[in-house]
Amino acid sequence: MSKSFSAIDGADEEGIDREAFTPGIEPQATWCPGCGDFGVLKALKGAMPEIGRTPDETLLVTGIGCSGKLSSYFESYGFHSIHGRSLPVARAAKLANPGLEVIAAGGDGDGYGIGGNHFMHTARENHDMLYIVFNNEIFGLTKGQTSPTSPKGHKSKTQPHGSAKDPIRPLSMALSAGASYVARTAAVNPRQATEVLAEAMEHDGFAHVDFLTQCPTWNKDAKQYVPYTDVQQSDDYDFDVADRREAAEMMHETEDKLYEGEVLTGRFYVEEDRRSYGQEKRETGEMPEEPLAERYFDDDYEWERSYDLLDVHK
């Protein structure tokens, strides 16, 4: 492997700890006291040593909003893109260099609203990456407008009569679009969140994690503060996470109950034997075996010339 990407295969996995992912800049600068975003950051930092990845071999692509600031407070290569567009940036980076651990993150407006189209297609293509959506049922950074996950009847300055819209069902959307790993976790339980994020990163395919985060400033009513039930830990929810139909049923249950005050979390769907998009492309010859980005640093690689393509034009 090329010397210019030594971080990727030369990582000394011993001794990576969560502190390696802490930059010299503090999230208190922009996140309010009690914000659920702290829980995402903590869980993500905790998950990294679990999967044995270093900051140099990790690329975190974020959208815009409070959640988008995650890339400022997490030490790795970062790309703070634009509202709703973290997925297309992230998936191309993964195709260009499959050696990278690629994580995309954004909020519920970002991921389920403006970026909904990208969410559907990235899930469908089953790109090998983790996608975290901070779900606090509100637009935070623009000061409290109704979001795609706000409950029906939610009142805000932009929906003064109460929202007439049903909220998005993100887990069901991810499943029907084709995500091969779908989970919901919550900032109020960092232990489960850490486990889920680590498992999602180790999953070979598109892993969507709907991360319930509380917004103490704009959405005190949200159910994200409520103690949750882990469906894997509870005998009441005996279902097969590899079974699409059973998973769909459980997703409907959590999506209905969330607005009734009962929060069910955990892994809802895990599809183990499906090839990721990159693998599919490599197998059909649509994409090179070796990471494309490395070629530009390989002095011995012979670059083909279009001159050789001209015969058909003679």
Partner 1 sequence: MTGNELIWRIAGGSGDGIDSTSQSFTKALMRAGLNVFTHRHYPSRIRGGHTYVEVRAAEHEVKSRGDGFNFLLALGDSFARNPQDEAYYGNEEAKPLSENLDDLREGGVIVYDEGLLDESEIDDFEERVEANDWHVYPMDLRGIAREHGREIMRNTAGVAVTAALLGMDTDPFEELMSDNMGGDILDDNLTVLEEAYETAADLDHSHDLEAPTADEHDEQQVLLNGSNALAYGALDEGCRFIAGYPMTPWTDVFTIMTQHLPEVGGISEQVEDEIAAASLAIGASHAGVKAMSGSSGGGFALMSEPLGLAEMTETPLVLVEAMRAGPSTGMPTKPEQADLEHILYTSQGDSNRVVFAPSTVAECYDQAREAFRVAYEYQIPAVIVIDQKLSGETINVPEAHFDREPNPDLGSTLTEEEIAEASHHASGKFNRFQHDPEDGVSPRSIPGQSDGRFLASGNEHTPQGHISEDPDNRVAQTDRRLRKLDAIREDLDDTELDRQTHYGPDDAEYGILTWGSQQSTVEEAVERLNDDGHSVKALGVSDLMPYPKADVTEFLESVEDCLVVEMNASAQFRGLTQKELGRFGEKLSSLLKYNGNPFEPAEIVEGFEVQVNGGTEPPTAQVRIEPAAGD
Report the interface residues with partner 1, using CB under 8 A.
3-8, 10, 23-25, 55-57, 59, 61, 64, 69, 71-72, 75-82, 85, 88-97, 99-100, 117-118, 120-121, 281, 285-288, 292-293, 295-297, 301, 303-307, 309-310, 313-314
Cβ-proximal residues to 159 (8 Å cutoff; 6+ apart), any chain:
145, 146, 150
Nearer CB in complex with partner 1: 260/300: 300
Nearer CB in complex with partner 1: 61/215: 61
String of DSSP letters for 180-247: SEEEEEETT-HHHHHHHHHHHHHSSSEEEEEEE--BTTTBTTSGGGS-EEETTT-GGG---TT-HHHH
- The Cα 166–Cα 248 span in angstroms is 18
Closest contact distance (angstroms) between CB of 192 and partner 1 is: 29
- The Cα 91–Cα 277 span in angstroms is 10
- The Cα 164–Cα 154 span in angstroms is 8
Closest contact distance (angstroms) between CB of 224 and partner 1 is: 26
Nearer CB in complex with partner 1: 121/257: 121
Nearer CB in complex with partner 1: 275/281: 281
Closest contact distance (angstroms) between CB of 238 and partner 1 is: 37
137 in the Ramachandran plot: left (φ > 0), alpha (ψ -120 to 50) or beta?
Answer: left
Under 8 Å between Cβ of 261 and 221: no
Place of tokens 């935070």: 140
Closest contact distance (angstroms) between CB of 8 and partner 1 is: 5
Give me the half-sphere count of Cα atoms (radius 13 Å) on the Cβ side of residue 157: 7
* Angle at the Cα of 104 from the Cα atoms of 101 and 108, rounded to 5 degrees: 160
Nearer CB in complex with partner 1: 120/248: 120
Closest contact distance (angstroms) between CB of 60 and partner 1 is: 9
Closest contact distance (angstroms) between CB of 152 and partner 1 is: 28
Place of tokens 């309010």: 32
Closest contact distance (angstroms) between CB of 104 and partner 1 is: 10
Closest contact distance (angstroms) between CB of 248 and partner 1 is: 24
CA distances from 121 to 91, 118, 173 (A): 11, 5, 11
Nearer CB in complex with partner 1: 134/277: 277
Nearer CB in complex with partner 1: 6/158: 6
Nearer CB in complex with partner 1: 117/234: 117
- The Cα 236–Cα 260 span in angstroms is 18
CA distances from 84 to 60, 126, 174 (A): 14, 18, 16
